[in-house]
Structure 1
Amino acid sequence: MNAPSLGPLLDDFSKVLANDPGALDVNSAMYVPNLHGVGAEDVIALLERAIRRTDDEGQIYYFSGQRGTGKSTELRRLATQLNAQSDTRAYVVDALEYISDTHPLDTLSLLLVAAIAFADRLAQPDGLGVAPAREDGLLARFTGWLRTEVDITQVSIGGVKAEFRKQQQSIVERLRSFDLTRQERVMAECRAYLSDMAEAVRATWQCRRVVLAIDSLERLRGIGGEAGAMFERIVRVFDGGIAQLRVPGVQMIYSVPPYLPYLTNVKALVRLFVLASVRVCQPPATARREARIEGVAAMRHVVERRFPRWRELIEEPALDRLILASGGDLRQLLRRLVLDVLDEAYFQQERLPLQASDAILEVVLKRHRAEIGNLVVRNEFPLLRGIAQTHALDLERREDLPIVAHFFDVRAVLNYRNGVEWLDLNPLLWDLISTSPAVQPATHEPGTA
């Protein structure tokens, strides 16, 4: 194939990568099974087993992992597997369809979003069938309660989502004005409605177990000076408010930020399941930062599923170089590294397929090293260096907790799991942190100069 004919192929590959399909169903042609491992390495298999074997229908679980690891896709797989069992009905709802990712979360607003999202989901044809249409039905009573108790106007069954987002700021202010007694009452009523909805599911589907997963909460973030405040809210809700998040009759799964299990004591209080980055490197005790063949091949398979003709544009060693630079982060690989390489190559098609030594790869990697380097500041380097050396967190000061949360949020630090869990820096930071001179630890808000 001569070089001019590769333009349409570059466009097609770029279009596939730029148009993120979002969470995938297990029957999608793009879905890659066993991406994160099999058996005891499969976090979804462990979570499914925990759900199946519990008799406590008020159990809660935390599900964590960084953006780009495929959590939403894997939660869908969990629901599919659970729904294949006659005694279980599982639902996944996305919290960020109702609130923004900078929403000042508290336990009351989380329970309210959970109840609203569950009601919306049950209003769909495969929810409670014809029951939602009844004017005196459960979901109609719930929306009436939203109008009177929370003052969310113009809501209807199955149509709460748009109104909640539209009125989000005024709802936050209204909830903040509630005194403690009213807050406790509204939270109790939210839990009661969630329990009633679960009971309606059991009656409709003749099942024993109801599971509700609240997705995307790990994407909540603070901007600028609000970063520390958001960190404190997250810890207060998911560490300090565990008892309030339990719902009788429902096994609840809450997605939580990836820093939470490292910076709090939640592991001792809640069953926690962490979806790690794809293990493209060997564990530190085996061969520190050396390529793990199985992990690299799994990431290559992801590219293959999205665009089978990729080898006409980039040779396998070149793609493997980008895979290692991604640290096993799917989003960083697909939507940033590979996509940028294709854009750079578009006007230099005579160099295709790109080799691992091609200068185009170094141009792109240099750019992304600079970008992620700008997300941390120099007096944060000692914390990063400590993580790089020990592959764990060993903080000396409590004030460093929000800074480490920032590292997870911007993916300066990645988490892995292979029998044991370990941490490492994003590979794009390896050289910067290892060659930087020692400075005093950070004492400021994360991400600010």
Structure 2
Amino acid sequence: MTSEEQEFIRRFFRAVSDRPIEFNGLDDQRYVKIYEEPAFEDHDPVKLLASSITLLPGQSVQLLSGYRGSGKSTELRRLRRKLDGRGVYKVALLDIEDYLSPSQPIDVSDFLVAVAGGLGDALLEAGHLNGDPAEEGYWTRLVNFLVRTNIQLTEVSAGMTAGASTPDKLASAGASANFKASLKSDPSFRQKLQERMAGHLGALVRDVGTYVEECVKKVKAKYGPDTEVVLLVDSMEHFRGALTNATAVQDSVVNLFAKHSDKLHFNFLHVVYTVPPYLKVLQQNLGSFYQPGGVQMIPTLKVRHKEVARTPFQPALDLLEKLISERGDWKRLLGPDARGIVDELSLLSGGHLRDFLRLFAEIIRRADRLPVPRRVVEAAIQQIRSEFLPIPDDDAIWLERIASSHTTALKNNDRLHDLARYFDSHLALSYRNGEDWYDVHPLVREVVQQQATAARERWSDKKE
């Protein structure tokens, strides 16, 4: 390839990399206005989230759910821009992964600590406050709270206090900075903190609530008494754990948002938490804990109709073509049959935005000339498909039932965690067309059908 073609490939590859759109004037054109299309306008998550915030002045709590890569982070940033444009709203956005590791079970105490610390940091970063959000930053305040409640930091993490014994010495010893870092990176510290805080949860809830109110008062003092403060908490959907503790992590998230839902509401603060899609599966009627907005689900983009023939849904294919057009010249990349290939990749993605862009990224990564030959497209498809495999026979049989019935085909609650795993890994996708319905990811649908048939035949032969 020429140097100019290589530069084209580099730009295109960067443009399809998976990152949220910030709406900062530099990347706005990359956003495809899906929800302005008549076929999708009723499902606009930003419109629905904003309505609950604007119709209920003072405070509210809502949940935003969807698959990883479905665009939740981008939609949160679009919500921030929409509310900021109304003047009276001051929005802070925090990434919970900056404070907690998603690979470990979460407890209400460390979650509240992370939200409070993140609120102060996010308000400062957004410029809504100048200086400390309260008389003391939350991390210093927390260290002092532990001392006031007779929880010694030496009980939690050896060496953190470096011999300090009073609040002033704790702060000067850098304990607050160490606390923030250890909360995310040291699982043993986090576990010990949870154990020590168990008997002081009520006091912690009150302390966090007081701190939040102080932050809001500071913002109102700066902008006026009618100012509304909104906190957007991103990346909670990343809390899935590892192979050895996935069930424990999932159960801890359910426990947090169901059992402790009352502790996630704050006076004078609007909050939107992103949550993983498995939460809706593991906890029925979750939205009743978060009225009036409840749970807003971002469905996968429907690229095929629900009926047996699974005919393509042209409005979705056109939207995905617009999406890739804003990132690069796909005709130059794919050649004379380009639109047909774009539609093929759209259908194979199942309407999952991240998987659609991953297919293009894999094609671009393999490109050695322009346009790329068909073998490159096939190799890219096979590479992404292989990442879903292997699938156990039991799973293949269940997934086949999901594909044929368009329901979860869940016989009893004993396998709820398996169903949650299907959603988390994108093996099963959810759609909305008047009602929720489900299907198997198109990249593995044929594999699932063939494997399920073969597995049943083997079991039948054994019985005979």
TM-score (norm 1): 0.85
Q: Is the 8 A contact 1:87 1:209 kept in 2?
A: yes
The CA deviation at 1:324 is: 1.3
Tell me the equivalent position of 2:144.
148
1:226-237 aligned within 5 A:
226-237=245-256
1:31 aligns with 2:30: yes
1:324 pairs with one of 342, 347, 363 = 347
| Preserved CA contact (<8 Å) 2:140 2:176 | no
Deviation at 1:35, TM superposition (A): 2.2
- 1:157 and 1:52 map into 2 onto residues whose CA distance is 40
- Aligned-partner SS, 1:100: coil
Show CA shifts across 1:70-124 (max 9, x none).
Answer: 1111101111111222332222211011122213212111111110100111223
Aligned to 2:122: 121
The 2-side partners of 1:141 and 1:342 are apart by 46
- Counterpart amino acid of 2:359? L
Relative to structure 1, the CA distance from residue 363 to residue 200 in structure 2 (aligned partners, 3 Å threshold; closer, same or farther) is same
- Checking the alignment, whether the CA contact within 8 Å between 1:30 and 1:306 is kept in structure 2 is no
**Which residue of structure 1 aligns with residue 89 of structure 2?**
88
* CA distance in 1 between partners of 2:218 and 2:2 (Å): 61
The 5 Å alignment of 1:68-79 reads 68-79=69-80
Describe the shift of the 1:7–1:121 C-alpha distance in structure 2 as closer, same or farther (beyond 3 A). Answer: closer
* Comparing 215-224 and 388-397, the one that deviates more: 388-397
CA apart distance, 1:165: 5.3
Q: Choose from 266, 273, 279 the match for 1:254.
A: 273
Comparing 174-183 with 217-226, greater Cα deviation is found at 174-183
1:208-260 alpha-carbon deviations (Å, 9 max, x no partner) = 42221111001111111201111111111112221121112212111100122
Find out whether 1:238 has 2:236 as its counterpart.
Answer: no
Aligned length: 421
Over 3 Å counting, the alpha-carbon distance change for 1:205 and 1:21 in structure 2 is: same
In 2: Cα distance, 1:227 partner to 1:125 partner = 34
Contact 1:323/1:333 (CA < 8 Å) preserved in 2?
A: yes
- 1:199 shift after superposition: 2.5
Question: Is 1:178 paired with 2:193?
Answer: no
Partner of 2:46: 44
Amino acid at match of 1:408: F
Residue of 347, 360, 364 corresponding to 1:342: 364
2:327 to 286, 306, 325: 306
| Counterpart pick for 2:414 among 367, 384, 399 | 399
Whole-angstrom CA distance in 2 between matches of 1:123 and 1:145 = 16
Distance 1:157 1:79, change over 3 A: farther
Aligned Cα RMSD in Å?
2.8
Aligned match of 1:14: 13
Q: CA deviation at 1:385?
A: 1.9
Structure-2 separation of matches of 1:279 and 1:36: 13
Q: Is the 8 A contact 2:182 2:190 kept in 1?
A: no
Q: Does 1:383 align with 2:383?
A: no
* Structure 2 residue identity aligned to 1:100: S
Q: Percent of pairs identical after alignment?
A: 23
**Post-superposition offset of 1:30:** 4.3
Distance in 1 (alpha carbons) for counterparts of 2:321 and 2:176: 40
Partner Cα separation in structure 2 for residue 7 and residue 409 of structure 1: 36
1:281 is paired with a residue whose SS is coil
Aligned to 1:363: 379
Q: For residue 230 of structure 2, give the secondary structure of its aligned residue in structure 1.
A: strand
